[in-house]
Homo-oligomer: A and B are copies of this chain.
Amino acid sequence: MSKIITISRQFGSGGRELGKRLADELHLPIYDHEIIEQLAAEHELTPEYIESLSEQSVRFSYQPTIGHRFTVQYPAADQQLKLITAQEQLIRKLAEHDCIIVGRAADVLLADRNPFNIFVYADMTSRINRCMERENPGENLSANQLKNRIRKIDRQRASYRSLFAETPWGRKENYTLCINTSECTPKAIAPALAVYINAWFS
């Protein structure tokens, strides 16, 4: 069985770091921002523009019974649709080999590959603290500003996933393992998580 791991995560939960550490433990490639960069290069667009796809406000309807078919309700969404489709194709191509994919609805897009789907979450206080520790110099956002940013990004992630699936982002039933990082660091749990994943795949 191929070893495909997807990581969905609340903003500020440490999911990205957990993914990197897990990739080291399992000796697997991890695709996160690399997906954006590759798409940007292929389509001669900026990574920032590709990233903003997940902030899209257009709505598509997805009909899973007949394969991927989007109904675009706004003609202006044409390019976005093309990029979303290109991203999906790229994710499927990457997953031809064992790997870890962070975000981008990979758990839904790769469902037929039977991936190990992780959801990483934490309480708001620890997420704010984690964001504060990683803030760019000079940013100095207040706890309240960070809370608003966290909520906004989570809404965007949920919205992006809703393009491909009817089940909501973060609903535990969609995932193989849901990990609360409120009281632990990715560093502390990554080796044990690797053991757990290997046991699941064996």
Residues of chain A at the chain B interface (Cβ within 8 Å): 114, 119, 121, 123, 170, 172-173, 175-180, 183-184, 188-189, 191-193, 195-196, 198-200, 202
- CB <8 Å contact, B172 and A180: yes
- CB <8 Å contact, B121 and A172: yes
Tell me the nearest residue of chain B to A198, going by C-beta. Answer: B192
- CB <8 Å contact, B172 and A178: yes
Min C-beta distance of A8 to chain B, whole Å: 12
Q: List 16 A-B contacts (CB under 8 A).
A: A119-B172, A121-B172, A123-B173, A172-B180, A173-B180, A175-B180, A177-B180, A178-B178, A184-B199, A188-B202, A192-B195, A192-B196, A192-B200, A195-B195, A195-B196, A196-B196
Contacts of A170 in B (CB 8 A): 172
A114, B123: Cα distance in complex, Å: 15
A192, B44: Cα distance in complex, Å: 45
- CB <8 Å contact, B176 and A177: no
- CB <8 Å contact, A200 and B189: yes
Q: Which of B119, B121, B173, B193 contacts A196 (CB 8 A)?
A: B193
Which of A170, A172, A183 is packed against the most chain B CB atoms within 10 Å?
A: A172
Min C-beta distance of A188 to chain B, whole Å: 6
Tell me the nearest residue of chain B to A117, going by C-beta. Answer: B180
- CB <8 Å contact, B172 and A184: no
